[in-house]
Chains A and B, each alone.
Chain A
Amino acid sequence: MNLVRLKGVPILQQLHLEERLLRKSSDNWCIINDGTHDPTIVMGISGKPVELLEIDPVLQDELPVIQRFTGGGTVIVDQGTVFVTFICNKDAVPGLQSYPRPIMSWSSLVYQKVFQGIGDFSLRENDYVLGNHKFGGNAQSIIKNRWLHHTSFLWDYEISNMRYLKLPKRTPEYRQARGHLEFICRMKDYIPRSNFIDRTIDAVGNHFLVRSMELEAIKYPSGTKFQPSSRLLRKQELEEAEFDSRTGVFINGLLRSLDLCSLVNREYGIYNFSNFGHGWNE
């Protein structure tokens, strides 16, 4: 497995690199990015800003919003986030089927070793937790003969950044309706940062023969044309999403006030304004 250690690389650049290595390389890779420079919101492939974000403060504070190529939820990442990514051929791990749960389960074995004797680590549904608190979020991309599993670890976070994120509609059961701050924890309360990275590399070494590689060696491969799908959302897209959300609220309010809801429903069927941020599916 090729090990690439990065520090402070912008998350969009990291995602582009990962997707290119997944689709164009035939090697196994472990990428560790120790923090990303600017606070950035990163949504999964199907994420809708109006459902996941408090768009007004995002626009006011000009926070970048990225849609990534993997599944899963929304995170806000910054210098306090440590990223670890595995990119593997489907037969890289003996006996492992390249489906979401087996890959997730294998990854938890790696981190169980990292946190041995340090904290009450486990995989709860699809999150890494210490006790009952999430500190690592996972996402994957699986293609025909390869898979990618990446994790954003909350070594530290800014409480003020939580205001940019709505409570997601789809949450794990163990969350039990807890707010952001009651649900997550800081890894720095358990392990020094460099220690976590070193122990992760050691744990990976239990599964693979690891060789270090510099980013420069893989940054500009010759002859490979590739268009990554992770992208930065334009300000206009966020503004339109916010406008649609408010329009939906307004129309909902107007129809309710005019007592037209049941009339519209009878004549035209169920109207779904959930895409505008406030559902009419009661």
Chain B
Amino acid sequence: MALRLWASSAANALRVSTAATASRPAFSLLRSFSTAVEGLKYATSHEWVKHEGSVATVGITDHAQDHLGEVVYVELPDVGKTATQGTGFGSVESVKATSDVNSPISGEIIEINSKLTENPGLINSGPYEDGWMIKVKPSNPSELGSLMDAKQYTKFCEEEDASH
């Protein structure tokens, strides 16, 4: 009963949301799945991390940006601050919501993506490329072992969407 109710209300929400999301690429309204990129690791809170040597790059996933809607504002931390796995480091504003973004890895924040100040929509158009948010010098690379790979994350998203 609950699922029928939410399916109906979600359908209504999609109808009334369509006009507000007219500025989003049309394909994002037609897709029935989101993309996970091989070689990255993923958190259950829908952030990704790319570990390359002494640098880990962090952003939100395609699934997250698709569900959040058009990102209009990004709040990022200062360089030099500490990111802690599972804890918020910044936020994005989309539709009418601010949503915390949690770091999938701990370490010193060594760079932030300043392009997001003028172009927050990069998170929508390129969540794994130009839409990266912070770069971290990992303090405990073994934390990556607790994250999901692309295949696991894809399955996680499918199960999460199916249960709602």
Contact = CB atoms under 8 A, between A and B. Distances in A.
A106 B9 contact: yes
B157 to A, nearest CB: 11
A43 B13 CA distance: 25
Contact of B6 (A69, A71, A96): A96
B72 interface: yes
A139 B6 contact: no
Contacts of A139: 96-97
Given A45-B75, A105-B9, A141 B98 contact: yes
B72 A141 contact: no
Contacts of B30: none
A21 B103 CA distance: 23
B9 A141 contact: no
A100 B94 contact: yes
Nearest to B6: A95
B108 interface: no
A171 B88 CA distance: 30
B12 A105 contact: yes
A122 B16 CA distance: 10
A94 B93 contact: no
Contacts of A72: 96-97
A99 B68 CA distance: 6
Contacts of B16: 122-125
Bin chain A's interface residue count.
35 or more
A101 B69 contact: yes
B140 interface: no
A102 B13 contact: yes
Contact of B20 (A44, A102, A126): A126
A149 to B, nearest CB: 9
A85 interface: no
Interface in A88-138: 94-97, 99-106, 108-109, 122-126, 138
Contacts of A3: none
A96 B97 contact: no
Contacts of B3: 95
B22 A142 contact: no
18 contacts: A45-B93, A45-B98, A69-B98, A70-B97, A71-B73, A95-B3, A95-B5, A97-B164, A99-B68, A100-B99, A101-B95, A104-B96, A105-B13, A140-B97, A142-B97, A143-B88, A172-B20, A173-B20
Interface of A: 44-46, 69-73, 94-97, 99-106, 108-109, 122-126, 138-144, 170, 172-174
The 9 closest A-B pairs by CB, nearest first: A46-B73, A105-B13, A140-B97, A72-B96, A100-B97, A125-B20, A173-B19, A71-B93, A100-B95
Given A95-B2, A141-B97, 20 more contacts: A46-B72, A69-B98, A71-B93, A72-B97, A95-B5, A95-B163, A100-B94, A101-B14, A106-B6, A108-B9, A108-B13, A123-B13, A126-B20, A126-B95, A139-B96, A140-B97, A143-B99, A144-B45, A144-B86, A174-B19
